[in-house]
Amino acid sequence: MAHVVESKKACTVNPLKMSQPLGASYAFMGLESCMPMMHGSQGCTSFGLVVLVRHFKEAIPLQTTAMNEATTIMGGYDNIEKALLNIRSRAKPQLIAICSTGLTETKGDDVDGYIALARQKHPELADTEIVYVSTPDYAGAFQDGWAKAVTTLVKQLPKTDTPRREGCVNVLPGSHLTPGDIEELRELIEAFGLQPVFVPDVSGSLDGHIPDDWLGTTIGGTPLAALQGLGGAVHTLAIGEQMRPAAEALQARCGVPFTLFDRLTGLTATDAFVRCLSTLSGRAVPQRLRRQRSQLVDAMLDGHFHFGNVKVALGAEPDLLFAVGSFLTEMGAELAVCVTTTASPLLERMPTAEVVIGDLEDFEQAAKATGCDLLMTHSHGRQAAERLGRPLFRLGIPTFDRIGNAHKCYVGYRGTRNFVYEVGNVLMEQIPHHGPGDWPLPEAAVAAARGVVMPLFSTVPEPGVAHVSAEIPRLSHGSQAAASAAA
């Protein structure tokens, strides 16, 4: 059991974590025809917008109520009212999702009351769903905001009288899953004849596709009708400890039972998921998945030579930290340093001695003290890797100095196999290779190559002619024939 320590420094140096409002906004981007909006200053929204644009290299729909000094003191009702009306008339979304920020939370804005008053004054808002989630950025972290957003969605939108649909399952993915991860899970679930509904589904909106027409809202994701019909599923699959509150809320509202998987990276973790799908569907595991499992086992055999006894420094959100860290230890690596962003029940279960809730300064100093061989965190860890002279394996959001982040996949049999190969190749690059300087030639050979004579029983070379002449005379045709006859 790991000992969890929270850093008590006066300030954060090189932050590892991102804020709750950004996590909630990211969750809302997995809904179709949605407009996420931060209730706060323009700077809060601009920063979050830049982070997601740099990571995904895509257009990100994100609005703001643009609070200033006066509206912060007097209250933000007018700004929310104008924002709702403008977004509805211009972007025409089916859903407007509002996240609070530290500014408006400190003021104490009654946003639920503001929304009720705006609906009363403007009946035209009746055709637009409006969701509000409290996400102060002075508490929690990115995955907390995501979890709160999903919990609010399942508490508010599903209808309680939806009839059960055989073969339909809800999937509540955590914020640590990429669009590529979700696509892999969809294929896994559909292989058993089940119909999954992902909430949220960022694989439909942030997978890097180009829509036929320009839209001012999200360009894919979970439709509003699917959100309202969540109560008709036979089961819910929650991925990551952060999704437990949402799964419990959906069960309390609609009576849908759930199974929670704390990770889907690794052989045993994927086996448990596949076993659950086989039970839910009543079908045997398809041969294609058995083949993928065999490929993963082979990849682990190939890779364990390079993972064994490697000291790793890992910095990530709790669910990602647990998923990756657990599999690294299964491959023989040592988790010498673990730094995360927020509290979670998983932290005590980490296969390491200590987990620090801190920043990248804590991460770097601990990695240096323990002599780590590999650093794993997002792109803000690149300076630490350069100073320590160690390789950096980029993991999580933001990864702004690489492309293709949306299609990274580290879950399931194929995703875990990819992870083994990618990390294993980074470790192989650190193996020292022999060069010409590793086998020094004798002094006599070096002297001969330089055109000097090494006298017998002497270590001091003298200028002269090399032992082998630079010009080799050719025999004439007649001499060659005579030499052949003699032989």
Angle between helices 267-281 and 412-429 (to 10 degrees): 170
pLDDT score recorded for residue 239: 98
pLDDT score recorded for residue 432: 84
Of 334, 329, 331, 330, give the one whose Cα is nearest residue 309.
334
In this structure, what token pair is assigned to residue 442? 């004798």
pLDDT score recorded for residue 444: 76
Low-confidence spans in the chain with pLDDT less than 70: 452-487
pLDDT score recorded for residue 29: 97
Strands 311-315 and 374-377, by their bridges, are parallel
Q: What percent of the chain has pLDDT over 90?
A: 84
Angle between helices 42-56 and 20-28 (to 10 degrees): 60
pLDDT score recorded for residue 441: 72
pLDDT score recorded for residue 276: 98
The DSSP letter of residue 303 is H
Angle between helices 111-121 and 77-90 (to 10 degrees): 60
pLDDT tens, 290-308?
A: 999 999 999 999 999 999 9
**φ, ψ for residue 147, nearest 5 deg:** -60, -40
Cis peptide before 436 (omega within 30 of 0): no
